[in-house]
Amino acid sequence: MRRNLVRVLDGETLSPPPIWLMRQAGRYLPEYLETRAHAGSFLQLCYNPELATEVTLQPIRRFGFDAAILFSDILVIPDALKRNVRFNEGHGPVMDPIDEDSIKALDAENVFAHLSPVLQTVEKLRTKLPAPTALLGFCGAPWTVATYMVAGRATPDQAPARLFAYRYPKAFEHLLLLLADVSAEYLVAQLDAGADAVQIFDSWAGVLGEPEFEAYAVKPVARMIEFIRSRRPSAKIIAFPKGAGCLLKDYRRKTGAHAIGLDWTVPLDLACELQKDGPIQGNLDPMRLAAGGNTLDEGVDAILQRLGNGPLIFNLGHGIIPQVAPENVRRLIDRVRNRPES
């Protein structure tokens, strides 16, 4: 069966378009909160195949999305690289900050033994998902993962990583290349375990200037995609460089991604231009989903009117926030699938 999301990634235009939402499994759902409490900690949830499968399936059961995305986190890679990743309630992820010497000492030998439970989750999901539902795997892009590794936490403008890259360019390049190679192998393993497609999240691409975007965001992702295609030529890959703005114009050509994920700041005129070269994904403002009502409807309609005549995967421009009411998600899906004729 060629699932609808895969058909769009192959360049088809479907009406209505397939829909899934970033962070569709998460804190806005009461059933997630129950499972999360049972797991003990966030990372324990990510590494528990039974519970991670359950959490991934929850929004599929409730809403019938066209795709499920593996429940995990982009920071399982630095965790597998022994950077002591912790998730502190109310403060986000933290880890041991990396320095020049620590980068040289990184050892990727046992990464996949550490990540084995995540791959087991993918295998379980493939057997449990409804036949028409696509399964997405994912990882963080090297630049975004590196920002957390250098600072040891999230920062507003990723100044620690940017400064480190200027001061220690060779060490930073080594870190990006190592992350690119490990992450590419990780995505191949997810595809082999049953994922229909994979997404690369570059959540902090938007803080980079043009030359840095080329060096830190484009080249490592291009390296990843080249590796994945060398192993799995038919692999379907979505890349999401959040905040990249006008730098998106050449991103697909330079990286080789099938589809480009767009955040909510991307003008629909630019989205239309990008769609001429292939599928796009996005890009409803998550705050419209939180607001609901006519605000939500108007945002959905604008995207479908401008982008619905080309290959489109409907999504948010970033993840669902915890304050979203589940009934707003139902309203969104109904609007996408049953939009009134204008």
Q: Which residues are catalytic?
A: 23, 27, 36, 73, 148
Report DSSP letters for 128-165, one per residue. HS-TT-EEEEEEE-HHHHHHHHHHSB--SS-HHHHHHH
Q: How far is it, in rounded angstroms, from Cα 217 to Cα 201? A: 11
Q: How far is CA 112 from the centre of its chain?
A: 20
CA distance 235 to 23: 23
Strand partners, 143: none
> Tokens in use for 192?
């082999």
Tokens of 150: 């250098």
Alpha carbon of 292 to those of 29, 77, 288, 335: distances in Å? Answer: 16, 36, 6, 11
The closest of 155, 159, 49 to 92, measured between CA atoms, is: 155
Give the start-end residues of each E strand in 181-324: 197-202, 237-241, 259-261, 280-284, 312-316
